Amino acid sequence: MAVIGAGPGGLCAGIELQRAGLDDFVILEKAPSVGGTWWHNRYPGAECDVQSHLYSYTFEPKPDWSRPYAAQAEILRYLEHVADKYQMLPRCRFGVEICSARWDQDRSVWHLQTTADQHLEANIVISAIGMFNDIATPDIPGLEEFAGTRFHTARWPEDHDLTGERVAVIGSAASAVQTIPEIAPLVAHLDVYQRTPQWVLPKADEPFTEQELQRFREDPDAVPAQREKIYAQLEATILFDDAEMLAESEAAGLRNLAQVEDPDLRRRLTPSMRYGCRRPLLSNCYYPAFNRPNVELVDCGIERIETNGIVDGNGRTRPTDTIILATGFETTRFLSSIDVTGRDGLHIRDAWRDGAQAYRGITTAGFPNLFMIYGPNTNNGSLIYMLELEVAYIIRHIRDMIRNDLAWIDVRPEFMDAYNTQLQQDIAGVTVWAADCRGYYRAESGRVVTQLPYNMTMWRQQTSVPDADAYESGRITT
């Protein structure tokens, strides 16, 4: 078996395979170490927007998180600890990037090809590459001709010093909201290019006191109680179906925005969309950054980029030393970022012509023995808990295959279609997602392919239901 990716999903898959006695597997990771998105995203201010006592494995609680919402470095150390404790490092092959996967119907195996032209075979493939795999680069005239420094937040160069530079941040979503307050005090001038104002709510993120940390370490009930408290709070909000909660969230966002002193600037930073239409953001530092004399909001667009600067939508040339692309990821691609060919030559891009879709977000018809973690329409709640549920589902089906001497299983198209029909109906019922606010949720067809319209409890129920009848199969022949 092959697991693609050594981030939170890939590590979880490996640990649970090992626990189940399914020892014949390898974890393939393109980076030089574990961590996935938390290894790649090292930009200043990078942190999680789910509280850490819930954004951690149920089987490996951490009593000494330094604060409610951990930053990137602390999360990465946690994942490194998990990989070491559960002996996943010997299972990992680092620096191995899979570029293609082809199903061999005669032998019931997957042929995997790496970017280094290596060939591997696996009877079962578990994709743990998730949503945040391919970075999104904006199509701006002249971007390639820029003579200064240019990089994406997800590929932050640790050796580049921004001190005293004229810097442009293109984008105003998650990575921008986290990065801007960190770099604003360093740079000579910072232009923030905003296309759409975001809802940015305050964040209850005071570091834990020594007394609190002592209680988490010494009281065996403290961490589980904290986790349950966070779980209940998140469950009450993630379906965006409580009008009072939505109104309270928007009021909190406006109070947070009130920190911007200039009334015209405050107006330009005020969202026109409903809270929840796009990914909710949290920060106590973003809005105060705009009170600095060296920070300027540019919301008139970009006409083009020249060798030494950016020409904005009003025709003004803005001298720039460094461009930072805070433009996110190609979130709707999922597994199609790899060249995947299934039964009868079916390509994943053709199967997903109208947008990525899968049965329970885990299996797609026409691609036997191929499972996905954090696949289409599984984005909601605490992703680490969600992917634990998905891994448990996968393990159950692999065990069934072994018990019944099955060479392959493939979800039946009618089951996948029925599931997705109901799923899209339920998504349509989430009013704030129905608005077109140019977020990352939709494929080009307009289909919402990232979001799950169910809470974590409902997802646990769905992934726990026996559904062997949803799959066709072939037996091992000798």
**Tens digit of pLDDT for each residue in 7-31?**
999 999 999 999 999 999 999 999 9
Strand pairing category for 200-201 and 281-282: parallel
Whether the per-residue pLDDT at 438 is higher than 80: the answer is no
- Alpha-carbon span 393 to 395, nearest angstrom: 6
Tokens of 380: 């909601």
Lay out the sheet containing 149-152: strands in order across: 149-152, 322-325, 166-170, 189-193, 295-298
- Number of residues that this document lists for the chain: 478
Tokens of 394: 């996968």
Mean pLDDT estimate for the chain: 96
Between the CA of residue 372 and those of 19, 49, 254, what are the distances in Å?
Answer: 19, 23, 39
Q: What is the DSSP string of 159-189?
A: T---TT-EEEEE--SHHHHHHHHHHTTTSSE
**3-state SS, residue 361:** coil
Judge contact between 423 and 429, C-beta under 8 A. no
- What would the pLDDT profile of 321-349 be if each residue is shown by its tens digit? 999 999 999 999 999 999 999 999 999 99
- Alpha-carbon span 336 to 348, nearest angstrom: 6
Strand pairing category for 339-341 and 189-193: unpaired
- Alpha-carbon span 309 to 189, nearest angstrom: 13
Burial label, 333 (beta-carbon count in 10 A; 0-12, 13-18, 19+)? buried
Whether the per-residue pLDDT at 478 is higher than 80: the answer is no
Which pLDDT value is given to residue 476?
Answer: 84
pTM, two decimals, is 0.96
Q: How confident is the model at residue 232 (pLDDT cuts 50, 70, 90)?
A: very high
Which pLDDT value is given to residue 477?
Answer: 78
Whether the per-residue pLDDT at 258 is higher than 80: the answer is yes
Lay out the sheet containing 119-122: strands in order across: 119-122, 109-114, 98-104, 339-341
Whether the per-residue pLDDT at 253 is higher than 80: the answer is yes
**3-state SS, residue 41:** coil
